A and B are shown apart, each in its own frame.
Chain A
């Protein structure tokens, strides 16, 4: 299969959905014209589909997301880009109060996607490196996905566009151009709500998502050299969460490490670890270990950011401790 970078897979997914359905449109800061967004994800779309379908908005997250709510209520399917995931908090009400509750409160459908370029490791500091997915997983009424590879980046985005609910799509900036992989051409959907075992193993389970899946796979290779066979589960969808795949894995390996780039404290990993601890209690031979960002604003300077973030080395270290437990 031909290979694409992670970012190219995202661009392809958007174009594919716009081609397929005239109700799909793109909006956000700087997404339009010849420019095509801070990361160039929407480059060329305005020329291809017209300015009306690729709309540059003023700097006004609360209201352009709110506007997407109204468009979606009328059956359009806006793909909203927030320039960095960090700025999603500026439009918070329009997501967690408005979009998230409308179906429950009176049956209105909000079939939008918010694309949030997230994650760090690339020396961008506290305001351009955030991973705010836990806020949205905790909020009733939203779906949240976080692809770890180019094929899922395309497949989950296409599924998100077609989903009748609001989906927050966290794309991992550090993977944009550093990760290439096979991506099916044409129609390709990845189901929302299904995790994937991306590396089978017998000795312990590493549960990860987004950019930490690559790190977990690298750690697994490293561990295999020591004879420790790690199974890697890529959650892919954080809400709904496919706990069954996690439980099935842990029931075989009896040991689990949960890892994400976001703050470990009260992060999505806490939910996963608490469920493993509760529902896989009888199978566990060791305590569930969590890795995540430190409880500090994401620092800029390389030694500090490296200390802040989980990586393959830290995952391997934790896995070794766990295997030796």
Chain B
């Protein structure tokens, strides 16, 4: 970071006073279409979509590993996976799902949606935004190359010391885990800075804090959590790297080190992490439920402040993952109580969503169903969360399948359901057509049934004493039935999850076959200003900056009270929407350098792991990236500056699907 933030200061280009740069050294790329455009784009919408696509890719990886787990556990004493393979599979499953699926989907929505919702043309630092994505992607890919280079990490997703040390895990799997996530973390950090700056500084005129959509608020909280949580993980990982690669002693018990240091560092990061996985989903359903209940969100200030409160409280509860690590009763009591009280702000949210639905006229389409799915299933996960926040009962439950059930209910039943809801909801804004409702219903019910069939029984398994991370179990333990049920469920769930992608594919085909009919700017009678522009969102977002006068601004423009005090529709969304004419709008040009710069990190990473020689080309590439970055002119000089030339750009958004 220091390099990125610091270095360019020293460089003589790109300053407002010597722009436009007369020498055009390192001209910017200017392809508006094709894959090269995707590689060089700095458009927040495309970057958001790429985050989403990458997450889907990793979801399949994580999902396949989940299914491997379930196959292995379907029957007792199964030998489908060896102990070693099993350990790698569940570690990589957890790691992929958390860091490479849920976090990037959150980033996808934040990137795609947040600038639209605050009425901005792009994020504050578009090139850094692209860099964040690429560095995340390369970190994630590097992590997954471990499968082919000596095996994946085998320490569990929280990788406790000293089991993560070179003595106990001599293969390079954990190095991949460590360095891959370190790299991905750089992306999260730069992304957080970028997005927070955008929310704080680039809101449309009139959009005060209390007029921001709930999703924007949740993005803000999430990114603050990231901003502060990532460095703590970074420190843990750096210490581990120093231990593994450079023989230091941070987790060397023989030298008197305390392995709990790792646990504290990891969970100080880890707990804020779980909230930063759920809050974007909370934000999403806070947009969907009011829209399809045809009512404003119930208790907006409470929604906002409970989100902020969760963000704050999330920092004070990490040791609930360590109730049996031997902290001593005082700490355990303190953390137990603190954890229980997180149920309060979360409960406010749940109940406010219910109250929003109460008395509404509900349109139960797929997006809404998934949202309701989140509300109910997250509650189940939250309640089991509270049951192990009670420390004594956690001594029975921790590290059993009861915990596995808890976190899949909050992560899959909560976060992922919310994200799928969001995909159905904003798909038209991104791609210009709706996802099929019929398949959507199948999608939803398949997922609900598969999900509960998979993870519901895990509550029972856990309470019957099945510890987690078990490669196998014995016949005599009485665990056969529910394990088998869970395995069956997981396949239903897998197929149902795939339907999201199938639906996207089929709907797009149908749409194209029908000659790409216009879905209209406002297909759902939406409430926030992203619905006031064409679908798919034009490259330049807003023709003119929107001026916001109230919460749910767009809705208030469509509806007004008549003389009798009755609320009537005064205009449709299509009537009010901006026509999507980008004339006179100047957009930041694409750039090669984010991806070049990002590519240097994994090379350095491999160098640290295998041979320090490799860090030299990696370092050179890094320097080259920074060099190119700093030399790049602020604008693409090849794009003529006359204002009428930008109409072609506006069409770009529509050309992908």
Physical interaction between A and B: no
